[in-house]
Amino acid sequence: MPENEQSDDLHAMRHSLAHVLAQAVMKLWPDTKVTIGPPIDYGCYYDFLFKEPISDADFGKIEKEMKKIIHQGQTFRCDKLSPKDAKKYWKDLKQPFKVELIEDLEKNEGVKSVTHYANVGPKGEDTFVDLCRGGHLESTKEIPVDGFKIMNLAGAYWRGDEKREQLTRIYVAAFPSKEELAIYITQQEEAKKRDHRKLGKELDLFTFSDQIGPGLPLWTPRGTIITDAIEDLVKEKEAEGGYKRVHTPHIAKGSLYAQTGHLAHYKGSMFPPMKLDDGEEEYYLKPMNCPHHHQLFASRQRSYRDLPLRLAEYGHCYRYEDSGALFGLMRVRSLTMNDAHIYLTEEQFEEEFSAVIHLYLEYFRIFGIDKYNMRLSLHDPKELGKKYVDNSKLWLKTEEMVRGVMKKLGVSFKEVPNEAAFYGPKIDVEVWSAIGREFTLATNQVDFDVPGKVGLKYTDKDGTEKVPLCIHRAPLGTHERTVGFLIEHFAGHFPLWMAPSQIAVLPVADAHEAYGSEVAMELLKRGMRIEYMNATESLGKRIREGEQWRIPYLLVLGDREQQDNAVSVRNVRSKNQVTLPLQEFIQRTCEDIAERRLHPSIG
Amino acid sequence: MPENEQSDDLHAMRHSLAHVLAQAVMKLWPDTKVTIGPPIDYGCYYDFLFKEPISDADFGKIEKEMKKIIHQGQTFRCDKLSPKDAKKYWKDLKQPFKVELIEDLEKNEGVKSVTHYANVGPKGEDTFVDLCRGGHLESTKEIPVDGFKIMNLAGAYWRGDEKREQLTRIYVAAFPSKEELAIYITQQEEAKKRDHRKLGKELDLFTFSDQIGPGLPLWTPRGTIITDAIEDLVKEKEAEGGYKRVHTPHIAKGSLYAQTGHLAHYKGSMFPPMKLDDGEEEYYLKPMNCPHHHQLFASRQRSYRDLPLRLAEYGHCYRYEDSGALFGLMRVRSLTMNDAHIYLTEEQFEEEFSAVIHLYLEYFRIFGIDKYNMRLSLHDPKELGKKYVDNSKLWLKTEEMVRGVMKKLGVSFKEVPNEAAFYGPKIDVEVWSAIGREFTLATNQVDFDVPGKVGLKYTDKDGTEKVPLCIHRAPLGTHERTVGFLIEHFAGHFPLWMAPSQIAVLPVADAHEAYGSEVAMELLKRGMRIEYMNATESLGKRIREGEQWRIPYLLVLGDREQQDNAVSVRNVRSKNQVTLPLQEFIQRTCEDIAERRLHPSIG
């Protein structure tokens, strides 16, 4: 669930609405067992055990009942019960889940009393009671009656335990106004259309194979054009930034990851080892590239003159995510990371860390990402020696270094405790796609711990040996998540420089094939990626096909175009069509590609 | 050991020389135990168990003794002994290894007699007797007395078994003439200087880490420039050839490799599996890319219109080579393969297979490989169902298809039985480096088996479903072996387009720094890889440094160059120096790089 930034009022409204939902359901199906129902970032849900399954067809009925309750202006009354009385109350009502919850509260928290909230109807009668910690509106009347909508049903196990009862979860969207609800619903519909799993299949960008395994995407030829285009961009920007490219293997001995601390702090996310039977050590798939880059640093004598040393690699890492947690390209087991490690002195920190933040902003500009949010993830003193390396002084020092740079840069950020990497603080960047979906994309981390642990050192000006700091950075995260995000962000309408097919050539009829070939050859000579769609199918059908494949430009070539050495350009995204001389089209398109412009400039 | 093409005469000479070597050693150190001593492709060796260790310092003494024996013109007499008599003979001489050999001959081959060869001296006396199958010269006089040289000592276990005695192996180079021996020795010395492990370290191209593991090279920034340059070349050539690039993960479920036949035929070369503890299947590192590409083929409906479909990937495979077999970049455990799989109909076979052979020849031209040899590797009927898929008819048919194409192409090749891939015949290419070292680099294989096994199909013109053929091809083998070969082939003097640093800029003195910076900026603007060596060190020292790093051009910039807007270009390979206008230098160098010329054209 993303960060919840809703106000207290909104939270109370959504929480109150969950009570209203439960009350409505109990009125309609009195045999139902109730469980729990919290507010969420777009409304609320409630989990029920129904005697007979319900369906989407019942939503209208439930909403009608909910509106009735809202109109009644029911109030909320708090009752304190002893656990004993509370259990008796729910046992009498044949509500075993509530009894179980109270038993757990006794056992785990040793509570002496539990609060219940009763809805009080217009005649002063109790209409519905729930076990609850509170936080409601004064009256159900304050719930905007046209600001909510039942969205969908989902299965959910009681307490998330697959060995327990399977419940029905009812999701409700709830907003302060009808208009805000409408915006949310439109976004959801658009998001469904843009779902990267759906578009990825339609546009043949990537695939999964049951035989290879879940969470292991295969990039098709069209998808590889996109990842290669991103990689070319990155190589260019990193070359400008003084990075040096390297390549490292995908496995290493367990002893390496023991030394770096990955086995101590990160083993749960790693694939199990490969055990060689000749007495050689166990080998692991690398979960991160840093231990490998550290070995490259260590492969030669280093002096202060070599620093900062910026080693970059689109490195493939493997992380063992639970199969249930896998989600399209967003959560996978094989990750192609836009990785680099910058080895540097403390004096170089500000400049290097700032350069990384600037690189983020440059990428955001190129991809048209207007909304982003930087989070400074800090350690938690309680987890020192467990989740985090045990050096309070260095934690505070490096956190202050990062805070200082961010303030100096004037980039706004918020601080989040207990989210750091095990070896140091980091800046994570959340971005929002064109339709407002949120993704955590980039990361920029300081490491004050591992370089020393693995014995990295350089000779300083004064001849002494020192341990370098290390910045771990991945402005474009992984290919998997970046492409997943961009598919949804662009709704499959990639900028020309990334588009798998940039231009389709459509001669209107057989008579225009010769001119069509001529145009095609001209474009191919400039290295453009074209589809040639000859006139065996109707023009309308071919245009629809070009649109389905989200080819940015369709060139329609008929008598007039042939005569004038021109092209009629249909911009698939805007659906505008303009006619212009072939040479002008070529020149402007070459520029759009070379400049990596966000939108094709014609039509 | 590479193919032995020596004539019978040469073989007999080298074999006879091994007897001479053993006789000389026994004369000098009568307590020595003899074992075996075969001819090899440049001479012969013999393994001994010495009582006291010998060293290089003893070579002269042994050679002198050998020459004496040669001059005596000893003849070879064959004696047939019963195993019993033979064992007694060697027991009496206290030569236990010979006794063991005879016991094994009795046990394994059930021999009734064993042959011994006695050298007969000038007085008719037996000078030395060895257990031997024969194949000698008439007389030791026929051995060219100045055509041999003891090269080196090496440790070797008796019968290659590390639990048995460690023996001393004496290697002797032996050729028909003094001149041929001299050529061989020069080649060996050159080879030592060019050894890719030595140069790889000196030029900082790659490294290994004990902590990551043996056989797992890490490409440094300078090495990555070379692999990236090769990859860019390959991408360009493959784009021209209609290949489409893909990316696939490095692991897959065991069931996939069971289905493809890899677990049945190839498991010994694979890393052990990773066993997930949640009941999911075992995962393996991929030993080849084909099973993954097959899954991409299978990810969509395919029709005859999609064929040939050429899927290309510089794919990383992992093979479990015994740690003792690992050798620099030549035999490794992680392989970056210049891989592609071409799915096609039988009618398309000739054209596609020929195009692959032409691609080989194009790469050989670019890398200046003049000497190569193509081998058609066939199945062995005796191994059907074991080493090879059990379909005699398809073996004969596809072997004939390959034979036919090769003959039509007019490329010479030789046929080698029992060297095919498990799924079909192949053409392997051996190449020779500039100093005559041989490498097996490229492969082009036909697969008539696996596509059917994994259910690949396409819809043909007539609407029926058919199974495609598959060509597996890797013209540039692996990055590891190709770069290893090229380091030795070029002695580290890479062509400009591949050189990690292309040009060094050396202002003669501080006064020329301004002009030096100007020249450097001009080169950087053209994307050239330069090193700027300022005048803090002497010019001589900087030139030596540039030579050590094998930077193709050193630009020396003094008063005259500055005044004339010129550069003095020192060609590091030829050591020639010429002065020419800066703009001419830039233009010619840009051309050399763009055309991927083998040698820098200036100086």
Burial class (CB in 10 A: 0-12, 13-18, 19+), B34: buried
Q: What is the pLDDT of residues A486-499, one digit of tens each?
A: 999 999 999 999 99
**What is the band of A2 on the pLDDT scale with cuts at 50, 70, 90?**
very low
CB pairs under 8 A between A and B: 169
Q: How far, in Å, are A80, A119, B111, B145, B408 from residue A37 at the CA level?
A: 20, 15, 88, 98, 77
Nearest CA in chain A to B211: A256
Position with higher pLDDT, B592 vs A449 = B592
Instruction: Kindly state the tokens that stand for B512.
Output: 């020329």
Nearest CA in chain B to A232: B232
Flag if A274 and B280 touch (Cβ within 8 Å): no
Element (H, E) at A434: none
How close, in Å, is residue B302 to chain A by CA atoms? 13
Instruction: Kindly state the tokens that stand for A413.
Output: 């950020």
pLDDT > 70: percent of chain A = 98
Q: B440, B428 in Cβ contact below 8 A? A: yes
In this prediction, residues A583-595 reach a mean pLDDT of 97
Considering only CB atoms, A219 lies closest to which of B211, B216, B246, namely: B246
**pLDDT for residue A1 is more than 70:** no
How much is the mean pLDDT over chain B? 94
Instruction: Kindly state the tokens that stand for B97.
Output: 């290894």
Q: Which pLDDT score, from 0 to 100, does residue B7 have?
A: 77
Residues in chain A: 603
How close, in Å, is residue A216 to chain B by CA atoms? 6
Residues in chain B: 603
Which residues share a beta bridge with A171? A45, A152
Considering only CB atoms, A213 lies closest to which of B224, B252, B259, namely: B252
Instruction: Kindly state the tokens that stand for B241.
Output: 């050839």
Pairing of strands A148-157, A126-131: unpaired
Q: What is the pLDDT of residues A238-287, one digit of tens each?
A: 999 999 999 999 999 999 999 988 898 888 899 999 998 766 789 999 99
Q: Which residues of B touch A255 (CB under 8 A)?
A: 211
3-state secondary structure B251-283: EEEHHHHHHHCHHHHHHHHCCCCEECCCCCCEE
Ramachandran angles phi, psi of B447, nearest 5°: -125, 110
Nearest CA in chain A to B309: A221
Flag if B300 and A274 touch (Cβ within 8 Å): no
Q: Which residues of B touch A212 (CB under 8 A)?
A: 248-249, 251-253, 256, 291-292, 295
Q: How far, in Å, are A94, B337, B355 from residue B340 at the CA level?
A: 66, 9, 13
How close, in Å, is residue B261 to chain A by CA atoms? 14
Instruction: Kindly state the tokens that stand for A157.
Output: 């196990």
Instruction: Identify the DSSP state of B158.
Output: G
Q: B12, B138 in Cβ contact below 8 A? A: no
Q: A552, A584 in Cβ contact below 8 A? A: no
Q: Is A345 helix (H, G, I), strand (E, B) or coil?
A: coil
Q: B175, B181 in Cβ contact below 8 A? A: yes
Q: A433, A488 in Cβ contact below 8 A? A: yes
* Phi-psi region at B568: left, alpha or beta (left = phi > 0; alpha = psi -120 to 50): beta
Helices (H), A241-282: 254-260, 262-266
Q: Which pLDDT score, from 0 to 100, does residue B278 have?
A: 67
Q: Which pLDDT score, from 0 to 100, does residue A278 have?
A: 67
Report the alpha-carbon distance of residue A116 to residue A146 in Å, rounded: 28
**What is the band of B1 on the pLDDT scale with cuts at 50, 70, 90?**
very low
**What is the band of B196 on the pLDDT scale with cuts at 50, 70, 90?**
very high
A87-124 burial string, b = 16+ CB within 10 Å, else e?
bebbeeeebebbbbbbeebbeeeeeeebebbbbbbeee
Instruction: Kindly state the tokens that stand for A161.
Output: 């335990």
Q: Which pLDDT score, from 0 to 100, does residue B17 have?
A: 97
How close, in Å, is residue B574 to chain A by CA atoms? 30
One-letter amino acid for residue A230 of the chain = I
**pLDDT for residue B456 is more than 90:** yes
Flag if A274 and B276 touch (Cβ within 8 Å): no
**pLDDT for residue B569 is more than 60:** yes
Instruction: Kindly state the tokens that stand for A389.
Output: 């390396």
**pLDDT for residue A472 is more than 90:** yes
Q: Could you check whether the bond before residue B451 is cis, i.e. omega within 30 degrees of 0?
A: no
Q: Which pLDDT score, from 0 to 100, does residue A501 have?
A: 98
In this prediction, residues A25-46 reach a mean pLDDT of 95
Q: Which pLDDT score, from 0 to 100, does residue B385 have?
A: 86
Q: Is B424 helix (H, G, I), strand (E, B) or coil?
A: strand
How close, in Å, is residue A601 to chain B by CA atoms? 27
Flag if A244 and B256 touch (Cβ within 8 Å): no
Q: Which pLDDT score, from 0 to 100, does residue A99 have?
A: 96
Q: What is the pLDDT of residues B393-431, one digit of tens each?
A: 989 999 999 999 999 999 889 999 999 988 899 999 998
Closest CA to A555 of A514, A509, A520, A598: A520
In this prediction, residues A150-159 reach a mean pLDDT of 93
Flag if A246 and B219 touch (Cβ within 8 Å): yes
Flag if A225 and B245 touch (Cβ within 8 Å): yes
**pLDDT for residue B5 is more than 90:** no
How close, in Å, is residue A284 to chain B by CA atoms? 9
Sequence-distant (≥ 6) Cβ neighbours of residue A240 within 8 angstroms: none
Q: How far, in Å, are A27, A47, A212, B256, B274 from residue B291 at the CA level?
A: 58, 44, 9, 7, 18
Report the alpha-carbon distance of residue B437 to residue B191 in Å, rounded: 8
In this prediction, residues B226-244 reach a mean pLDDT of 97
Flag if B274 and A276 touch (Cβ within 8 Å): no
Flag if A218 and B299 touch (Cβ within 8 Å): yes
One-letter amino acid for residue B408 of the chain = K
Considering only CB atoms, B244 lies closest to which of A221, A247, A322, namely: A221
**pLDDT for residue A417 is more than 50:** yes
Q: Is B114 helix (H, G, I), strand (E, B) or coil?
A: strand
Q: What is the pLDDT of residues A332-379, one digit of tens each?
A: 999 999 999 999 999 999 999 999 999 999 999 999 998 899 999 999
In this prediction, residues A75-83 reach a mean pLDDT of 94
Report the alpha-carbon distance of residue B276 to residue B284 in Å, rounded: 11
In this prediction, residues A179-186 reach a mean pLDDT of 94
Report the alpha-carbon distance of residue B299 to residue B457 in Å, rounded: 11
Element (H, E) at A596: none
How close, in Å, is residue B435 to chain A by CA atoms? 29
Q: Is B96 helix (H, G, I), strand (E, B) or coil?
A: helix
Q: Which pLDDT score, from 0 to 100, does residue B322 have?
A: 86
In this prediction, residues B256-274 reach a mean pLDDT of 91
In this prediction, residues B501-523 reach a mean pLDDT of 97
Report the alpha-carbon distance of residue A19 to residue A172 in Å, rounded: 12
How much is the mean pLDDT over chain A? 93
**pLDDT for residue B237 is more than 60:** yes
Report the alpha-carbon distance of residue A558 to residue B558 in Å, rounded: 63
**What is the band of A6 on the pLDDT scale with cuts at 50, 70, 90?**
low
Mutate to test the interface with A, among B227, B274, B479, B533 (most CBs of A within 10 A): B274
In this prediction, residues A205-211 reach a mean pLDDT of 96
Considering only CB atoms, A213 lies closest to which of B213, B228, B283, namely: B283
Flag if A246 and B259 touch (Cβ within 8 Å): no
Q: Which pLDDT score, from 0 to 100, does residue A14 have?
A: 96
How close, in Å, is residue A478 to chain B by CA atoms? 14
Which regions of B327-366 does DSSP assign to beta strands (E)?
334-344
One-letter amino acid for residue A112 of the chain = K
Q: Which residues of B touch A312 (CB under 8 A)?
A: none
Considering only CB atoms, A272 lies closest to which of B271, B274, B318, namely: B274
Q: A206, B180 in Cβ contact below 8 A? A: no
Q: Which residues of B touch A277 (CB under 8 A)?
A: 272
The shares of helix, strand and coil residues in chain A, as percent rounded to the nearest 5, are 40, 25, 35
Nearest CA in chain B to A224: B246
Q: B102, B82 in Cβ contact below 8 A? A: no
Closest CA to A123 of A72, A68, A71, A64: A72
How close, in Å, is residue B220 to chain A by CA atoms? 5
Which regions of B359-481 does DSSP assign to beta strands (E)?
372-377, 413-416, 426-432, 438-447, 458-459, 465-466, 469-474
In this prediction, residues B475-502 reach a mean pLDDT of 96
Mutate to test the interface with B, among A211, A253, A299, A526 (most CBs of B within 10 A): A211
How close, in Å, is residue B276 to chain A by CA atoms? 6
Q: Which residues of A touch B273 (CB under 8 A)?
A: 274
Flag if B277 and A278 touch (Cβ within 8 Å): no
Flag if A213 and B248 touch (Cβ within 8 Å): no
Considering only CB atoms, A209 lies closest to which of B247, B285, B295, namely: B295
Q: How far, in Å, are A471, B198, B205, B265, B474 from residue B574 at the CA level?
A: 43, 22, 23, 50, 34
Q: A68, A119 in Cβ contact below 8 A? A: no
Mutate to test the interface with A, among B231, B247, B263, B533 (most CBs of A within 10 A): B247
Flag if A216 and B316 touch (Cβ within 8 Å): no
